[in-house]
Amino acid sequence: MTKPELLVTPISVDDIVPLVEAGADAFVIGEQRYGLRLAGEFNREDVAKAIALAHANGKKVYVAMNAIFHNEKVEELAEYLRFVSSVNADAVIFGDPAVLMTAREVAPEMKLHWSTETTGTNWYTCNYWGRKGAKRAVLAREINMDAIIETKEQAEVEIEVQVHGMSCMFQSKRSLLGNYFEYQGKVMEVENHKQQKDMFLHDKERGNKYPIFEDDNGTHIMSPNDICIIDELQDMLEAGVDSFKIDGILKSPGYILAVTKIYREAIDLYFENPDLYEDKKDELLEKIEEIQPANRPLDTGFFFKETVY
Amino acid sequence: MNTVKDRISEMIDGKRVIVKKPELLAPAGNLEKLKIAVHYGADAVFIGGQEYGLRSNADNFTLEEIKEGVEFAKQYGAKIYVTTNIYAHNENIPGLEEYMLGLKEAGVAGIIVADPLIIETCRRVAPEIEVHLSTQQSLSNWKAIQFWQQEGLERVVLARETSADEIREMKEKVDIEIETFIHGAMCIAYSGRCVLSNHMTARDSNRGGCCQSCRWDYDLYRLEGSDQEVPLFAEGDAPFAMSPKDLNLIQSIPKMIELGIDSLKIEGRMKSIHYIATVVSVYRKVIDTYCADPDNFEIKQEWLKELDKCANRETAPAFFEGVPGYKEQMFGNHSKKTSYEFVGLVLDYNQETQMVTLQQRNHFRPGDEVEFFGPEIENFTHVIEKIWDEKGQELDAARHPLQIVQFKLDKPVYPNNMMRKGN
């Protein structure tokens, strides 16, 4: 049995070394021009630096190119892939087949991780993308633990699962914040607030608060709670899920660092002896609860929740 | 390389005519709607089966009904496509092969699919069926289309977010059939990338459980510091909303035809037969009129008015003509009542007695002014005089749903013509 990779999302280059020390095995970085909902914006120089730092510490870096692309960006995918390849990224994350097609042409040796966030819902489709060239599939957040375990058992590709943080519920190409401000006649707000990440929608009926922000990829609405399954990792560890992701979007560097340490401890404990993890997991959960921002309740996402249709 | 235009029109006797007429594709939630769609001029109809489709709330078709629909459509030379565009979970895999075999047996021309699981299963067990990529894949660029073309798909349905210029480039670069939406309700999110329902109501939006949370109102706040919540609206302001106006591309049909788009799709498997009949017949006229004489074509006001008669939301052209702004969304109280009500379906007309036999679909009474429409007739209005039931009993009103009634009408009408009444 091998330990799963602990994958985290740094906000800036400065976070790399501390996160390595905290126990991260790999990082997701990139820029919003190509990647979706990143914790931080890494321009090319930052990408090169982050990769150099991670590699010097024996860690991996995956560059996000998982946006939904329109024609206007198709031509530049090759150039960005060449760049990513030239700085020795360990993998590229894609959702749009245009990236896969371009990678076959200009960077055939580049590892690809398939991630659309919402559509990785069954093992067959994970393997389909594997046959098309992906080495890893990132599962949708909306499937449950049993389905994750079954998918891992049937998978011919690595399986990545988000274990912590908020997830995306919605992406529109429209400028929904800008449109609302314009509708209200608040022209200034459009420029002042549109790009900020401190807004949320209040759903009075459910008592939920959904973070909302805009960027190059449109408007994004995020989950009201943070997934946290620090105390429910045993089945996935047992099944050999390949990568556990902590998504740090809209969180502080300090929070990401602390959470990384706690998951590191959980994984290491389990591999030392599953009983040790069992004994200590409630305490680990309490540690996370202590640092959890007041406006972000923790829950177990869809791991133990059934959806109907 | 031939320009797109060369393949689309030709000069015949000194006059340009369109030789590549796009398919008019209509929705149907049940057999009656399917028959109406075909009868009113749809070249193809898309329907949902009992499984693997995205409208759990629609009636949906049994395999028997699909077969009957296929056979009915065949008489008109029309095709039937079945939506099987869920993103399947592991638990949905058992039964899929059998379902595909059932669709093959029923004779469907194509399936509309998002999940590669279903694409490959269909290819393996029912290779006769065409595979069309669903808009649930939010296909937005030519290179991704190239991928699906190399995968052997016959057709792709584009993301609603694509513009005319983008479609032009796609058509130039990839040789595959392209289908786009022209009319109806649509997602405000990239289709397939929204799980609001999952989070808000534990209903899986990508397996047909969408509860349309995007149509609800929300309050927008800014978080200052760690717990200071500042409202970004004033007392009495309309709340934050993201409800899109319905798509309406009637003005853009000529451009779409010239772009060589292969199939023009109307949304609305949940809509009534009146809606389907109205929308299909208007677009049928637009397409036929344009194709016959594109260089002297004008949109007629009566077509626009006709579309409005069944509209239950305001409409807008959305992304085809550019990125939509706030005017293409609805804020505040935005319910719109349809201006006309569907009141009767013509079953028969007796030329000699000038007596029409109808099935009642909504309340009407003597003195009401009604309008008749249908593929065989020009719209006309009529004031109802005496009404009788099947047994010849005079009625003060046609008040029972599906009741068979008769009255005098001096102009001929035909079975499946419809009668509507202004609200």
Percent of chain B at pLDDT > 90 equals 92
pLDDT (0 to 100) of residue B57:
67
Residue A67 CB contacts under 8 Å (≥ 6 apart), including other chains: A32, A33, A34, A35, A36, A73, A95, A96, A216, A217
Name the nearest CA neighbour of B343 among B387, B287, B304.
B387
List all residues of chain B from 279 to 318 with a beta carbon under 8 Å from chain A. Answer: none
- Cβ–Cβ gap B200/A184 under 8 Å: no
pLDDT (0 to 100) of residue A190:
67
Residue B29 pLDDT class (50, 70, 90 cuts)? very high
For chain A, say whether B333 makes contact (Cβ under 8 Å).
no
Contact assessment for residue A13 and residue A46, using Cβ atoms and an 8 Å cutoff? yes
Smallest CA–CA distance, residue A34 to chain B, in Å, is: 14
According to DSSP, residue A140 is labeled: P
Residue B7 pLDDT class (50, 70, 90 cuts)? confident
| pLDDT, mean of residues A221-233 | 98
- Cβ–Cβ gap B115/A119 under 8 Å: yes
* Among candidates A71, A200, A306 on the partner chain, residue whose Cβ is nearest the Cβ of B141: A71
Residue B226 pLDDT class (50, 70, 90 cuts)? confident
Q: Calculate the average pLDDT of chain A.
A: 96
Residue B2 pLDDT class (50, 70, 90 cuts)? very low
- Cβ–Cβ gap A180/B216 under 8 Å: no
Distances (CA, A) of B393 to B370, B404, B409: 22, 11, 18
Asked whether residue B5 carries a pLDDT value surpassing 70, the answer given is no
Name the nearest CA neighbour of B37 among B283, B233, B243.
B283
Asked whether residue B243 carries a pLDDT value surpassing 70, the answer given is yes
* Among candidates A101, A172, A175 on the partner chain, residue whose Cβ is nearest the Cβ of B190: A172
Mutate to test the interface with A, among B242, B245, B334 (most CBs of A within 10 A): B242
* Among candidates A101, A200, A294 on the partner chain, residue whose Cβ is nearest the Cβ of B146: A101
- Cβ–Cβ gap B140/A203 under 8 Å: no
Q: Name the token pair of A242.
A: 């390949």
pLDDT digits (tens, 9 = 90+) for A44-103: 999 999 999 999 999 999 999 999 999 999 999 999 999 999 999 999 999 999 999 999
CA nearest to A305 within chain B:
B202
Smallest CA–CA distance, residue A18 to chain B, in Å, is: 24
pLDDT digits (tens, 9 = 90+) for B91-138: 999 999 999 999 999 999 999 999 999 999 999 999 999 999 999 999
According to DSSP, residue B213 is labeled: G
Asked whether residue B200 carries a pLDDT value surpassing 70, the answer given is yes
Spatial distance between the Cα atoms of A68 and B140, rounded to a whole number of angstroms: 7
pLDDT digits (tens, 9 = 90+) for A179-201: 999 999 887 776 667 678 899 99
- Cβ–Cβ gap B242/A77 under 8 Å: no
CA nearest to B53 within chain A:
A309
What residues form DSSP beta bridges with B370?
A: B382, B421
- Cβ–Cβ gap B120/A128 under 8 Å: yes
* CB contacts, 8 Å: B172 with chain A: none
* Among candidates A118, A172, A302 on the partner chain, residue whose Cβ is nearest the Cβ of B242: A172
pLDDT (0 to 100) of residue B312:
87
- Cβ–Cβ gap A124/B116 under 8 Å: yes
pLDDT (0 to 100) of residue B369:
98
Smallest CA–CA distance, residue A54 to chain B, in Å, is: 32
Walk me through the domains of chain A, giving residue ranges and CATH numbers.
5-166+227-299 (3.20.20.70), 171-221 (no CATH)
Q: Say how many CA atoms lie within 13 Å of A11 toward its Cβ.
A: 10
Residue B6 pLDDT class (50, 70, 90 cuts)? low
* CB contacts, 8 Å: B247 with chain A: none
List all residues of chain B from 232 to 271 with a beta carbon under 8 Å from chain A. Answer: 232-233, 237-238, 240-242, 244
Q: Calculate the average pLDDT of chain B.
A: 95
- Cβ–Cβ gap B220/A208 under 8 Å: no
| pLDDT, mean of residues A208-213 | 97
Angle at A148 between CA A147 and CA A153, to 5 degrees: 95
pLDDT (0 to 100) of residue A86:
98
Q: How many CB atoms lie within 10 A of CB B403?
A: 16
Interface size A-B, in CB pairs within 8 Å, comes to: 216
Residue A1 pLDDT class (50, 70, 90 cuts)? confident
| pLDDT, mean of residues A269-297 | 97
Contact assessment for residue B228 and residue B241, using Cβ atoms and an 8 Å cutoff? no
CA nearest to B243 within chain A:
A176
A141's enclosing H/E stretch is none
Does ipTM exceed 0.90?
Answer: yes
Residue B1 pLDDT class (50, 70, 90 cuts)? very low
List all residues of chain B from 27 to 86 with a beta carbon under 8 Å from chain A. Answer: 56, 86
* CB contacts, 8 Å: A131 with chain B: none
Same fold, B4-190+245-327 and B340-422: no
* CB contacts, 8 Å: B325 with chain A: 175, 179, 182
The domain segmentation of chain B, as residue ranges, is 4-190+245-327, 196-243, 340-422
Spatial distance between the Cα atoms of A196 and A220, rounded to a whole number of angstroms: 12
The CATH code belonging to domain B340-422 is 2.40.30.10
Cα A301 from chain centroid (whole Å): 14
What is the per-residue DSSP string for B30-96? SHHHHHHHHHTT-SEEEEEBSSSSS-TTS--B-HHHHHHHHHHHHHTT-EEEEEE-----GGGSTTH
Name the nearest CA neighbour of A69 among A78, A61, A60.
A78
pLDDT digits (tens, 9 = 90+) for B251-303: 999 999 999 999 999 999 999 999 999 999 999 999 999 999 999 999 999 99
**Choices 3.20.20.70, 3.40.50.300, 2.60.120.650, 3.90.1150.10: CATH for B4-190+245-327:** 3.20.20.70
